[in-house]
Structure 1
Amino acid sequence: MTGWTHGLLNRLVILCDVAMMLVAALVYYAVWHILGWTQMVVLGVIGGAIYCTVLLLGQAYRVEHYGRVRRQIVHVIIGLLPALLAVFVVYYALVPPQPGDPEAFGPWAALTLVALLFGRLVLVRAGMAWIDRRKLLVRNTVLIGDLDRAYALIRRYQEDMPAGGLISFVGVFRDGGRQPTNAEKAGDGVPPALGGIEDLLELAKAGIFDLVIVTKNWSDMRGIGVIARQLHRVATDVMVEMEPDVLSAASARVTRIADSPTLQIQQRPLKGSLGVLKALEDYTVAGIGLLVMSPVLLLAALAIKLDSPGPVLFRQARVGLNRREFMVYKLRTMHYDPGDDGSIGAVRADPRITRVGAILRSLSIDEIPQLINVLRGEMSVVGPRPHVPNMMINEQLRYEAVSDYVARYRMKPGITGWAQINGMRGGIYTEEKAARGVELDLYYIENWSIWFDIRIILLTMTKGLADTTAF
């Protein structure tokens, strides 16, 4: 999965348009000096806002438009005319008229037109060519359900898009119905049949597809629901192929693929620009955090070595995005035991916890090395906490005991999270408390924003340090 989406590309084109308008304003100021620096920047921003608003309302920021020269020119002119008019009106509303003012706008308008056309016909087209060469907008797709329906959909798509289009079929998975033929198993001229739902979930760990299409009969809503629930643990978009004319393709969340309407029932969190924003947050906070906390880490490491034998750092397998396992880093807070797999969580007054470890755990200092996991791309600063693969609750595996537990795997795990600042630190030994934690984690996933993360980080730094439930 590349992280590129149509929405991200559209935002980059908007950014290019605004940048070109500002460049035109600054060049005009540097050459003519008729209007002041501040005036040109303000007018450039106002013009850019009006221009982009007009094109957004006219749905001109769409990927299918960027490769068409004539359409690009028309869109630039349509957006620029009201932008110039608005700038002219605002200018005369704020500044007393001066002799020669009307002539001053002519060169600026011409420069702006040239800059916008350069941005669209040179920069955007070059960017689109670069994206096409690397197939960054191609969606790697798997299908699950009835094999006949799946391969029929693939054939129709290949007939409609002989050059490949924006979908690449990775494989087909069976859910009931006939067995695959030998040719289908071998992928002879068609995407290979790769097994059933468990095989699909296993393949998801590799992160090589970002769209699942369910191809079961529309009347089998129970079967579709079973598959949908199992796919909750996978960070992908999920669509269901519908019968023709069941719903209009213009309806919300309904898209046509090879003239078959598909209904989107699940969306991958943090797609496109949201994912870029989350990554910037993670790398910035983790980098600064490690730098600022390095003296604390050095003192903690010295205290651990003096307190008990064993390594300073503790490495343990945890389950992350799409159920992929990774090794988490923490400061060691327990007596060294190579045989401890972590399936039994810590309890209050746990004899395994060292004297220094108790202090580190109460202040959450033992979690600081997980900033390394963030920089490695395995974790986020904020997200659902990662658990060991075989964590137990009442002698049951946690993912079996708690409904929707696996849906937490749709986002990278975090050092802190919405659940942790709402009392889910310390031991979780009951199904009720575990279910409450999952509820809070899913609320975070479904309502993510950069401001939500900032709020959680600030609460962790204040409320979290004084949390008496931690041990």
Structure 2
Amino acid sequence: MSNLVRLNTGSAGSHRPGASAGRGPAPESEAPLADFAFEDADGLPPPEAPPPSDRRGPMRPAQLSPTRRRLQGEVYARTFQALDGLFLAAVSLTAFLSLGGQAGVHVAPALAVMIALSLSGRYAFGSREGLAYHLAATGLAVLAGVAAAAAILASFLPPAAVFAALGAWTLAAFLGLYALHTTWWLLVRRWRGDGRLTPNVVVVGATPAAERLIAHAMRSRELNVLGVFDDRLARAPQAMRGVPVLGDTRALLEHRIMPYVDRVIVAVPAGARHRVREVIQALRPLPNEIALLLEDEDLETTGREARRSSRVRDIPLARIAGPPRHLGRAVVKRTLDLTAGGLALILALPLMALLALAIRLDSPGPIFFRQRRQGFNNEEIVVWKFRSMRHEAADAHATRQVQADDDRVTRVGRFIRATSLDELPQLLNVLKGEMSLVGPRPHAIGMMTGDVESARLVAEYAHRHRMKPGMTGWAAINGSRGPVDTPEEVRRRVELDVEYIERQSLWLDLYIMAMTLPCLLGDRQAVR
């Protein structure tokens, strides 16, 4: 699957995502990037589309999708492979039930064909591979697999019986796999056209290495280079092969395109080791994956944090920092969110109806409170809650965090906040894929701790956005619930969130879910 996207993504820097810096245009995207006019309860008006710009660059897709919506090629390749295997298993079972005989005669060709398809790269779906070529190669793989199975079976069974049994099986396998692989190829082409399979990157350093990378990307179309950043703007060109130079490192940290970037590639010359370290240190607040473009093998020892290496075709990259790469865990986590979250929503609907009625009768205003918060990769998401404050006093920006005996909280609001029942509508966010059942709690954009924006109190604040936000989390069951009123509380919240991200597993998620209710019932100190 070298030609399908292999990049796991993180998020943007420790800044308010709505802020804009540098010379880059606002992306025309599914999730808007400009500052929004917030409404505290009645709804959030759709933001105006950002103005068109001629500094888009040759590889920037017409529509940018948040990184959480970017499809991971390995997942879909293995899904296609599994569906092919199920189809061949069904063909073998049908043949066995219809023709009888020894089961091995029908199982062996299925296994051989699956091995041949895998070894011949039929699940790579190269960006320049046409449908006719793909189907022809698929047919050759089927023939090779059937021939290998026939040769092995003929050494144990009469050849006539083997060929008689494999005739109908081979025809069914041909027709079915041709139909399936036509579907897979069309899906991959569509996803590539949507920009969901091609990773988006930005490059730090307007160097010859960066220019070679851009030229390679334009030839292979294996990745989209959205922009270049360089601290030496006086020496940097306005564009490199049409890719715009958008600003310096500070502009990159605050640029509104970053929630759509899968990887930051540092392309500083190999000899400038001090500059490499400076750039990597400056990029430390970013939760995005950061990779070093290796101009020679010695450069791999530049940073002790270079834990992994990967390649974009023949270009070696050393992984410096970024979110954990656990593809299997991500699949299991999403499966848990869909199954447990869907079941929880069904079971909670009667209770949610009663709460909605109570809120409506208790105070004037809408039932739901919707607030823009920071999600995965600092994407702005709309989080749903039951309204717990008086409508006219609601604070969408969290400029004033809730205090004990807060006069803004309604009577019903005190109960649903104390029991966290106000969070139940976030099950909708979970099912939409914007949140998870377990993860760092999403904070309001621009949330204040005293007179300072909370995100500015901890350099690695945005590292908590390397995973989808959750309805509950490791911090919540370890006493860090509700408002964070001091810098120390912000640091502790971030430390617990990062600890969870580094340790995340199915068993830890199940433990946190099991401990959430006892912690809520036993925690009378937290202010909510």
Same fold (TM over 0.5): yes
Q: Matched residues in 2 for 1:229 and 1:462: separation?
A: 37
Normalising by the residue count of structure 2, what TM-score does the alignment of the two structures yield?
A: 0.69
Report the counterpart of residue 200 of structure 2 in structure 1: 140
In the alignment, what sits opposite 1:194? 246
Moved more, 71-80 or 217-226: 71-80
1:456 is the counterpart of 2:512: yes
What residue in structure 2 maps to residue 215 of structure 1? 267
Residue 31 of structure 1 is matched in structure 2 by: 98
Decide which of 402, 412, 433 is 1:356's aligned counterpart: 412
Q: Which moved more, 1:2-11 or 1:19-28?
A: 2-11
Give the structure 2 partner of residue 92 of structure 1: none
Say whether the 8 Å CA contact 2:286–2:460 is kept in structure 1.
no
- The Cα of 1:176 is off from its aligned counterpart by 2.8
> Deviation of residue 112 (structure 1)?
5.4
> Over residues 54-105 of structure 1, what are the superposed CA-to-partner deviations in whole Å (9 max), with x where a residue is unaligned?
987x79676278966558745874699589979x99xxxxxxxxxx999876
Q: Secondary structure, in 3 states, of the residue corresponding to 1:265? A: strand
How many Å separate the matches in 1 of 2:513 and 2:469?
A: 14
Pick closer, same or farther for the CA change 1:449–1:172 going to 2, 3 Å: same
Question: Are 1:264 and 2:319 matched, yes or no?
Answer: yes
CA 1:104–1:17 in 2, change beyond 3 Å: closer, same or farther? Answer: farther
Distance 1:325 1:64, change over 3 A: closer
Instruction: Return the match for 2:502 from 441, 446, 461.
Output: 446
What does the per-residue CA deviation read over 1:288-337, in whole Å, with 9 as the maximum and x for residues that have no partner?
33332122122223333444444432233322223233332222223444
1:231-267 per-position Cα deviation (integer Å, ceiling 9, x unaligned): 22x4xx4321122232689x97334457543212245
- Partner of 1:95 in structure 2? none
| Letter paired with 1:197 | T
Residue of structure 2 in register with 1:435 after alignment? 491
Number of paired residues?
441
Q: Take 2:300 and 2:458, find their aligned partners in 1: how far apart are those partners? A: 37
Alpha-carbon distance in structure 1 between the residues aligned to 2:259 and 2:175: 37
Residue of 441, 445, 452 corresponding to 1:389 = 445
Residue 80 of structure 2 corresponds to residue 20 of structure 1: no
Q: What residue ranges of structure 1 are gaps of 5+ in the alignment?
A: 90-99
Task: Indicate if the aligned counterparts of 1:4 and 1:272 stay in contact, CA closer than 8 A.
Answer: no
Instruction: Show the counterpart of 2:19.
Output: none
1:63 aligns with 2:124: yes
Q: Does 1:292 find its partner at 2:347?
A: yes
Query: Which range moved further: 265-274 or 204-213?
Result: 265-274
In structure 2, give the amino acid aligned to 1:442: V
What is the letter of the counterpart of residue 92 of structure 2? A
Corresponding residue for 1:400? Answer: 456
Distance 1:396 1:243, change over 3 A: same
- What are structure 2's unaligned runs of at least 5 residues? 1-66
Mapped pair 1:123 → 2:183:
no
State the TM-score, normalizing by the size of structure 1: 0.76
Task: Determine helix, strand or coil for the equivalent of 1:142.
Answer: strand
For residues 98-177 of structure 1, the aligned pairs below 5 Å read 123-124=180-181, 126-132=183-189, 134-135=191-192, 136-158=196-218, 161=219, 164-176=220-232
Contact 1:282 1:374 in 2 (8 A): yes
Contact kept, 8 Å, 1:76 with 1:116, in 2: the verdict is no
Provide the C-alpha distance between the structure 1 equivalents of 2:268 and 2:111, rounded to a whole number of angstroms.
Answer: 46
Distance 1:111 1:177, change over 3 A: farther
Specify the alignment match of 1:318 in structure 2: 373
How far is 1:386 from its partner?
0.9
Q: Which amino acid aligns with 2:206?
A: D
Aligned AA for 1:4? L
Residue aligned with 2:320, SS:
strand
How many angstroms apart in 2 are the aligned matches of 1:81 and 1:451?
A: 43
Aligned-partner Cα distance in 2 for 1:230–1:248: 22
What displacement does 1:48 show? Answer: 6.5
Aligned-residue CA RMSD in angstroms? 4.2
Identical counterparts, % of pairs: 31
In 2 relative to 1, CA 436–101 (structure 1 residues): closer, same or farther, beyond 3 Å? farther
| Pair 424,50 (structure 1): closer, same or farther in 2 beyond 3 Å | farther
Alpha carbons of 1:144 and 1:287: their partners in 2 closer, same or farther (altered >3 Å)? same
1:246 corresponds to 2:298? yes
Quote the offset at 1:11 in angstroms: 0.6
The aligned counterpart of 1:230 is: 285
Deviation for aligned residue 1:32: 1.8
Is the CA contact (8 Å cut-off) linking 2:150 and 2:163 kept in structure 1?
no
Alignment of 1:11 onto 2:78 = yes
Amino acid at match of 1:29: F
Give 1:394 deviation, angstroms: 5.2
**C-alpha distance in 1 between matches for 2:259 and 2:217:** 23
Q: Per the alignment, in what secondary structure is the counterpart of residue 514 of structure 2?
A: helix
| Contact 1:361–1:470 under 8 Å retained in 2 | no
Q: Distance in 2 between matches of 1:392 and 1:415?
A: 21
User: 1:465 and 1:424 mapped to 2: Cα distance?
Assistant: 15
> Are 1:141 and 1:169, in contact at CA under 8 Å, matched by a contact in 2?
yes
Mapped partners of 1:364, 1:287: distance in 2: 18
- Provide the rounded CA distance (Å) in 1 between the counterparts of 2:356 and 2:409: 16
Contact 1:145 1:214 in 2 (8 A): yes
Find the partner of 2:436 among 380, 387, 396: 380
Going from structure 1 to structure 2, the CA distance change for 1:4 and 1:332 (only over 3 Å counts) comes to closer
Tell me if the contact between 1:3 and 1:271 (Cα under 8 Å) persists in the aligned partners.
no
Distance 1:216 1:191, change over 3 A: same
How far the C-alpha of 1:385 sits from its partner, in A, is 0.6
Equivalence map 1:300-311=2 (5 Å): 300-311=355-366
Q: Supply the AA of the counterpart residue of 1:355.
A: R
- Does 1:371 find its partner at 2:434? no
Cα shift at 1:111: 5.4
8 A Cα contact 1:321 1:412, kept in partner: yes
